[in-house]
Amino acid sequence: MSHPNKKRLRRSMMFLNAQKPSLIKDPYLYGADSLMLDLEDAVAVTAKDTARFSLYQALKNVDYRGCERVVRINGLDTEYWKEDIRCCIAGGADVLRIPKTEDAKMVKAVEDAVLAAEREFERPEGSTLLMAALESAKGVMSAYEVCTSSERMIGIALSGGDYTKDLQTKITGTGVELMGARQQMIIAARAAGVQCFDTVWTDLDNLEGFRKEVMLIKDMGFDGKSIINPRQIPIVHEVFTPSMKEIIFSEKVIREIDSKRKEGIGVFTVDGKMIDIAFYDGAQRVIALAKASGVYKGEL
Ligand SMILES: CC(C)(COP(=O)(O)OP(=O)(O)OC[C@H]1O[C@@H](n2cnc3c(N)ncnc32)[C@H](O)[C@@H]1OP(=O)(O)O)[C@@H](O)C(=O)NCCC(=O)NCCSC(=O)C[C@@](O)(CC(=O)O)C(=O)O
Ligand SMILES: [Mg+2]
């Protein structure tokens, strides 16, 4: 099964509490690439049913204008997740985010329930995509197995709050406690050919610290970041969208590699930097990201 949206642009994935109808009504106005409507930890146990109902109404009746609708369902150790899935599929959610994923068996259980719901509500089979949040040491150790557990899988996301609790440490703001997990997850995701997303930044008023963290994870290779507030969107988009300088350099690299190849030359310089075929895919990726972000004006 190949789904056209498996690798779409997901620089920013913004959490919203499905318990608050006002929050899930028109949040597409903020311009995040994906909205994550949350039925899990942002929703109080006493409000699970009402949150699910308001989520269903929003999925059914709000025009999200191309903004991807991801729903974080409740964990598989709860009594809620199966009904969450039925409600998401009946409403037409694009992606389900599985929280606290520890192994491929959990993904398979969700996949079975999703398929049953697609049949029940006459949705095209395979139309609902999945992503998995890794929130424990065991989950991070299983990253590759989770990435390859389903054809529906778009990628994995680090969940720093629960993960650091499991590691018996805390979020420090420096990233030192998340270093190993981030490295392991990006390697696993790339080996499996899926996307990789970083965790939320909760120190809302410290936007400089947030920017540093976004720059770090972008350089590590991540595709985007889970976020919790609209103020975080412009920073993520600015960091993840290629600059004009990067675009122009990448164009030169692609054109020079194409032309030097015809002349039988394998290694040369562009703007004083050594270039060979190894740089081709990276330059193509910059152009593809610029196109997807709507900033490319060139002709490649
Ligand atoms: C933090 C705060 C209460 C602050 O509110 P404040 O009102 O003080 O914020 P302000 O900036 O003043 O808001 C200005 C205007 O934007 C509106 N506005 C704010 N946030 C908005 C939003 N998200 N979407 C649309 N609109 C929004 C607001 O309504 C206002 O609108 P208006 O009045 O019209 O001007 C709020 O942001 C919020 O609830 N965030 C989402 C929290 C959430 O869902 N957490 C669960 C997911 S994490 C987790 O579970 C941990 C994890 O699992 C993570 C992992 O898996 O990675 C792990 O383990 O680590
Ligand atoms: Mg969590």
Nearest bound ligand to the CA of residue 38: 1
57, 18, 66, 24: which is closest to 38 by C-alpha? Answer: 18
* Residue 135 assigned ligand-binding role: yes
Alpha carbon distances (Å) from 79 to 32, 49, 102 = 31, 11, 18
**Dist CA 204 CA 190 (whole Å):** 30
Tokens of 23: 């929050």
**The pLDDT of residue 174 is above 90:** yes
Model confidence over 5-41: pLDDT tens digits?
A: 999 999 999 999 998 888 788 888 999 999 999 999 9
Model confidence over 61-92: pLDDT tens digits?
A: 999 998 999 999 999 999 999 999 999 999 99
The residue nearest atom 7 of ligand 1, judged by CA position, is 229
3-state DSSP assignment of residue 7: coil
Residues with a CB atom less than 6 Å from ligand 1:
14-17, 23, 27, 38, 41-42, 133, 135, 157, 159-162, 199-200, 226, 228-231
ipTM of this complex prediction, to 2 decimal places = 0.98
pTM: 0.96
